[in-house]
Amino acid sequence: MNHYSLLKHNTFGMDVYAKRFFDYSSIEELRSILKTIPADEAVLHIGGGSNLLFTHDYEGTILHSAIKGIEVIDSTDKDVLVKVGSGEVWDDFVAYCVQQNWGGVENLSLIPGEVGASAVQNIGAYGAEAKDVIETVEAIELRSGSCRTFSNAECNYAYRQSIFKKELKGQYAITHVTFRLSKTPTLQLDYGNIRAQLADKTDVTINDVRQAIISIREAKLPDPNVLGNAGSFFMNPIVSRDTFLSIQKDYPNMPFYETNGEYKIPAGWMIEQCGWKGKAQGRAAVHDKQALVLVNLGGATSDEIIALSDAICHDVKEKFGVDIHPEVNFI
Ligand code: EPU
């Protein structure tokens, strides 16, 4: 489709257009679309548009997977391998797994977006990350149309990172993701206030965990249908032990997560300390219940969002000496 409105393809609610837009429902359809794209044309593959900030119209072709299907490809007493189409809505997949009593993704309940993007972003929340359950990722190379299956190790996963965001950025379209889920789930209840949320339950099930996570998220995170946003606008910075200790001296109550001698500090906490929580600048604002999230109060331009983001980064750097970086992709 030519001159296509992207309004319903970005949760920030930016009213921009793409020169051309294609949805595809199969690998064959994707391959035939790829043949029509001129070699010098810019190509962008999107998912649910929940992690994007369009700064202007897109003068190229946008691709979007509508490949569906949730298929069990192997099953033992312990676990199950499930191959999922990249165009499935992530939370529909989580709901399905919970219904089957397959454990591993319940802590990732209600994350917006689609299954393909989960493997690009390595989505994570409440002590779980997509990389913990991804077995393989099948993708089509945009240039050649050839299919490649990436093992979990080949995806180079790290906090909010993968090979698809770095070395191979923009080169592949993910068509299917295969997950390994457990038939004897171990519940992960140690993050934040999950246990408190479940305090009145005995014999906690993965559905109880899902419902608790949904309540926690709904209380903190704005619904993009009401208030345009792209979830966490910034990544949590990872700092050295020395930097961490020197900040902690001044802020003994600072929350943090330690992994392998490095320290992750919640950017939302730093932004709140800078006094930004709930504040607006023009039609862009910092969400009043979670300072990591920037919101479009209605009709905000990308320039207004970026100006707010720049002001926040500046203040965090000045107060804590730490650089924070957007996790949202600017297009
Ligand atoms: N905090 C504040 N003020 C705030 C926000 C947070 O003091 O305004 C403090 C909280 O009290 C808590 C700590 O910071 O002690 C962590 O807060 P929270 O549990 O809300 O998590 P986060 O680190 O701010 C990350 C993810 C979220 C995910 C939550 C829960 C990133 C960039 N974000 O946020 O992901 O839901 O953990 O696991 O890692 C998303 O990607 O869109 C997203 C929402």
Please give the share of the chain, as a percent, with pLDDT higher than 70: 100
326 lines ligand 1 (CB under 6 A): no
The mean per-residue pLDDT over the stretch 80-105 comes to 98
pLDDT in tens, 171-209: 999 999 999 999 999 999 999 889 998 988 889 999 999
Please tell me the pTM assigned to this model: 0.94
Residue matched to tokens 């906690």: 204
* Tokens encoding 264: 């992750």
pLDDT at 81 over 90: yes
Which amino acid makes up residue 173? A
The mean per-residue pLDDT over the stretch 11-24 comes to 95
Give the pLDDT of residue 200. Answer: 87
269 lines ligand 1 (CB under 6 A): yes
Choice among 19-23, 33-37, 257-261 with the minimum mean pLDDT: 257-261
β-bridge mates for residue 295, sequence order: 229, 285
Work out the number of other CB atoms within 10 angstroms of the CB of residue 228.
Answer: 22
pLDDT at 260 over 90: no
- Return mean pLDDT, the chain: 96
Residue matched to tokens 């946003």: 229
Concerning whether 26 is annotated as a catalytic residue, the answer is no
Q: Which of 29, 141, 160, 283 is labelled catalytic?
A: 160
Concerning whether 232 is annotated as a catalytic residue, the answer is yes
User: 218 by DSSP, 3-state: which?
Assistant: helix
The mean per-residue pLDDT over the stretch 266-287 comes to 97
CA-to-CA distance for 194 and 120, rounded, in angstroms? Answer: 26
| pLDDT level of residue 247 (50, 70, 90 thresholds) | very high
190 by Cβ neighbours in 10 Å (0-12 / 13-18 / 19+) ranks as exposed
